[in-house]
Amino acid sequence: MGSEELTIICNTKPISPATAASPASNNAVKIIQKAIKYLLENKKFMLQVFLLVLTPFWVLVLLHSIIVGPLMEKVEDSYEKSSLNRQDLITLLALEIPFAVAFSLVLLFGSVVSIFASALIHQGASLSLQEILLRSRSTWKKTITSGLTVSILMTIIISLIVVAVYLTPLLGVLAALTYPYLATICNLGLVISTVEDDFPGTKGLFRAQEFVKKNKFQGYLLMLMLILLSIPIYLAFYVISTDDDDQIGHITRFAFLLVATVLFCLTIFFNNIVYTLLYLELKSGYHLVHNVACTGS
């Protein structure tokens, strides 16, 4: 629903999303509990969606491990021995760039699929993978635009935090404390631009900022909780995926890599469900309060 549709319901001034925020319905803990409830009550459907998210990512992880892994190990060994081969480094970078793009697109696809699945459950619509794939296909241009916008913004934010930490620890701490707020806007913006036709790209981010602006603590707390839950899994995935320990066998290494990949994708999957529910709750509260105001006028 576009912003124009919201303003023509009545002639009164629309109530801001901040006014619509209800501590009872929008509590961060309750949102997470509701996300877990969605997973438990729709096990079969959500498992199908998760496998749709996991499979292409796992294939990419395997290809990266097989194609890039040996070269990465060679470059690391030569660097430790101070005999780095420039050609090997160039080849490694040439391989990593297309893989980075592929990983980004697969993660974006996984996010969109997760968002659509959560929205369907919330709306009480019929649950089918075909419906999700059709929606994803019909909105792929908008999705790429929105995903690119969010990715660039998140890259800038993280880069600034790293620079701030390098300059002075105090500045780094302050920058890190602002990250959950900015990350909330980015995540909510991706959700909005996915489920709403009128808010692609930067419009989705501005819409997210509108909702988050007066609900800083709620969005901040929710993101902080997800970060604390996610960081150990992200670190484990990074360590396992980049480990070149020759003492463990290939089968054991791939087993560890599979477990780490499943946990990584599950984290991404769950985070998207949480932020989809957050937006739908905020939007529902906005419409409810706005319609009450219109009726009263």
**CA atoms lying within 13 Å on the CB side of residue 6:** 19
- Does residue 263 carry a pLDDT above 80? yes
Helix/strand/coil for 270: helix
Output DSSP code: residue 8: S
**In the chain, which ranges are E strands?**
none
Q: What are the residue ranges spanned by the domains of the chain?
A: 3-296
> Residue-wise over 163-182: b if at least 16 C-beta within 10 A, else e?
ebeeeeeeebeebeeebbbb
**Lowest-pLDDT range of 12-21, 251-260, 274-283:** 12-21
Supply the pLDDT for residue 53.
Answer: 92
Q: Provide CB contacts within 8 A for 181, sequence distance 6+.
A: 212, 216, 219, 220, 223
Residue 239, both tokens: 């360590």
Given pLDDT bands bounded at 50, 70 and 90, which one contains residue 11? very low
Using CA atoms, how far apart are residues 197 and 40, in angstroms rounded to an integer? Answer: 30
Supply the pLDDT for residue 285.
Answer: 59
| pTM to 2 decimal places | 0.79
Using CA atoms, how far apart are residues 50 and 265, in angstroms rounded to an integer? Answer: 8
Question: Higher model confidence: residue 187 or residue 14?
Answer: 187
Q: Are 164 and 171 in contact (CB under 8 A)?
A: yes
Supply the pLDDT for residue 115.
Answer: 92
Residue 60, both tokens: 């990419």
pLDDT digits (tens, 9 = 90+) for 59-98: 999 998 888 888 888 877 777 666 667 887 888 889 899 9
Supply the pLDDT for residue 214.
Answer: 66
C-alpha angle 65-68-71 in degrees, rounded to nearest 5: 120
124 φ, ψ (degrees, to nearest 5): 75, 20
Given pLDDT bands bounded at 50, 70 and 90, which one contains residue 9? very low
Question: What would the mean pLDDT of 35-56 be, rounded to a whole number?
Answer: 91
Residue 25, both tokens: 């319905």
Residue 169, both tokens: 């620890």
- Does residue 278 carry a pLDDT above 70? yes
Length of the chain: 297
Supply the pLDDT for residue 269.
Answer: 93
Question: What would the mean pLDDT of 117-139 be, rounded to a whole number?
Answer: 82
Using CA atoms, how far apart are residues 268 and 107, in angstroms rounded to an integer? Answer: 8
Using CA atoms, how far apart are residues 284 and 70, in angstroms rounded to an integer? Answer: 51
pLDDT digits (tens, 9 = 90+) for 156-196: 888 888 887 788 777 778 877 888 888 888 889 899 988 88
Radius of gyration for the chain, computed over Cα atoms and rounded to the nearest angstrom: 21
